[in-house]
Structure 1
Amino acid sequence: MLTRVGLSGPLVSRQFGQVGQKRNFFLTYGIASVVGSLIFNENNRLADKMENGQLHYKDANSVFNSAALEEKNRLFHRAPPQYPGHVPLYGFEKALMVLGSSIGAYFHPERNEFIVGLGESTAIPSVLKKLQKQMLDDSTGRKILRERPRITSTSLDLDYLRSLPENTVGNTYIRWLDREGVSPDTRVPVKYIDDEELAYIYQRYRECHDFYHAITGLPIIIEGEIAVKVLEFMNIGIPMSGLGALFAPLRLKPSQKDRLYNIYYPWAFKSGLNSKPLINVYWENILDRDIDEVRRELGVEQPPDLRNLRKDYFEKLKKSKKL
């Protein structure tokens, strides 16, 4: 009996051990299943919240990142166009345009894109607002701003201008266009000035440029352009005109500089300062008026004929070489 009891003891122990292991296994498996189920359900709950936009993660840097993004948007947000054709520029883009167009205009003054870019990139708002006030203070200027006329081959009847008497503003203008081989349509639309009315004022200045040539008789050659630019700067104050007067003569020949500095600069300073504001002239409404009478009213003197001065200079130079 003792032997049987002794033999049965280990068997009973092993049996109880196996039962205990099975209980531990089932207990561990049950706990893991419950925990896994809870985690799985929590993940599903979070996924549902995320899908519905209800999950918000509190980022410690969120305040900083939000402020940085707001500052970035403020600095690099391109404003919407203010009028048809308007191209808003960042400050650094305008600075690059000033630099690039200045260099281009200096070495290639015959290329219109450089002149256009330089003009608009240097059109300081304070100067344009001064012109705006000047126009608003004048009855004719207000009418121009109200009616917004454009000077083109469509708005002007060029055949009618040719039919006008020779000494009228309109006939003088069309004869100058024909002689120089240009058209009113060569003045491109303004697109880099942000304010819509200021853009029109600059467009008006640009389109009236040929009338300044016509009433003064100055041709489209480098000296004539510089002389008209000085007149414009002294009367209207557009910065590009002043820059042209300052730097353009640097590349001229001594004879050209002599004519400019001794004849046309003094004339342009005097006429520009003493004449009435040219931006307020409604040229389209005075085309049939006597040109000399208009010059007197405006206070613009007609300078010596530049082409004749150049012709005389070359004839003298030719004679001196023969001698």
Structure 2
Amino acid sequence: MRHYGLKVFTGETSDWYQEFNSYHIPTTKPQNVLLSIASSMMALYDPYRHDMVAVVGEATGYRALQQMHRQMMNDPTGQIILKEKPRINSKTIDFDFLRSLPDKTLGKKYITFMDKNNINADTRAMTRFVDDADLAYVIQRYRELHDFNHLLLGLQPNMLGEVLVKWFEMIQTGFPVCTLGAIFGPIRLDYSKNVKLMQTYLPLVIKAARKSTCLLNVYIEHHFEDDFEQFRDELGIRTIPIR
């Protein structure tokens, strides 16, 4: 069996349901509405409040999560992911192994991106306000794949890069929190970047999102040892040239 850089090997079901139960906070419909309003206001005021952005996604995304779940159930690999519920964090991924891989591999590119930008995979918020454990996993998987979208699109984790990735994710998933970031994120950009965003970058991102495979249906942990450029070609993703 290939190592894949995993501490938990393929075929083993994660302890997702135990984690879900330990973090889950049940909410009524009125409470959910209040959460949606309050977290949306805070996220718009400060887009770097990732905790508030996470709550917005959970409080507003039920129907989109159902659609994302169906999308995965209709795909053979997506079905396996939903069954095994793998996680992307230091408990499951051997990051030192990824650092030992050749430079051209997906795993090495990923860990180099994370190290260079001081991003810790363990900081992704745990889903709390989604009552269905399987739908809660879908949003957790979406969060833990976010950095791979940055990497595959060649977009840095700055405001412009975040806006473009949110457009990419919005088109592929229909997730409301992505729409929030895609529409209101440009407010934080200066005029020249907004011009380039509208005239150059957005058309490229929209094209990429429509033509490429959604990562929700990619068992990305099984591709760490693959050639990065070849893997990206297989997904149909091209780098967005930022100038």
TM-score normalized with structure 2 length: 0.88
- The match for 2:102 is 165
- The match for 2:42 is 104
- The match for 1:218 is 155
> What SS does structure 2 have at the residue aligned with 1:89?
coil
CA distance in 1, matches of 2:94, 2:166: 27
1:224-264 deviation per Cα after TM superposition (whole angstroms, max 9, x unaligned): 00100100111122111012111121232102212221222
1:154 matched to 2:80? The reply is no
CA distance in 1, matches of 2:97, 2:188: 40
Gaps of 5+ in 1: 1-81, 310-323
Q: How many angstroms does 1:138 deviate by?
A: 1.3
Structure 2: which amino acid aligns with 1:283? Answer: I
- The match for 2:75 is 138
Counterpart contact for 1:173–1:215, Cα < 8 Å? no
1:88 matched to 2:26? The reply is yes
RMSD: 1.3
Identity of aligned residues (%): 38
CA distance in 2, matches of 1:262, 1:291: 29
> What SS does structure 2 have at the residue aligned with 1:83?
helix
1:277 matched to 2:214? The reply is yes
What does 1:105-254 correspond to in 2, within 5 Å?
105-124=43-62, 126-254=63-191
Counterpart contact for 2:95–2:111, Cα < 8 Å? yes
1:253-292 deviation per Cα after TM superposition (whole angstroms, max 9, x unaligned): 1022122212221111111111122210111100011111
1:18-68 deviation per Cα after TM superposition (whole angstroms, max 9, x unaligned): xxxxxxxxxxxxxxxxxxxxxxxxxxxxxxxxxxxxxxxxxxxxxxxxxxx
CA distance in 2, matches of 1:215, 1:259: 20
CA distance in 1, matches of 2:227, 2:181: 31
CA distance in 2, matches of 1:133, 1:110: 30
- The match for 1:78 is none
Q: Specify which structure has the higher proportion of helix.
A: 1
- The match for 2:238 is 301
CA distance in 1, matches of 2:204, 2:155: 12
Gaps of 5+ in 2: 1-19
CA distance in 1, matches of 2:36, 2:131: 16
Q: How many angstroms does 1:123 deviate by?
A: 1.1
Counterpart contact for 1:172–1:215, Cα < 8 Å? no
CA distance in 1, matches of 2:161, 2:61: 22
CA distance in 1, matches of 2:95, 2:154: 19
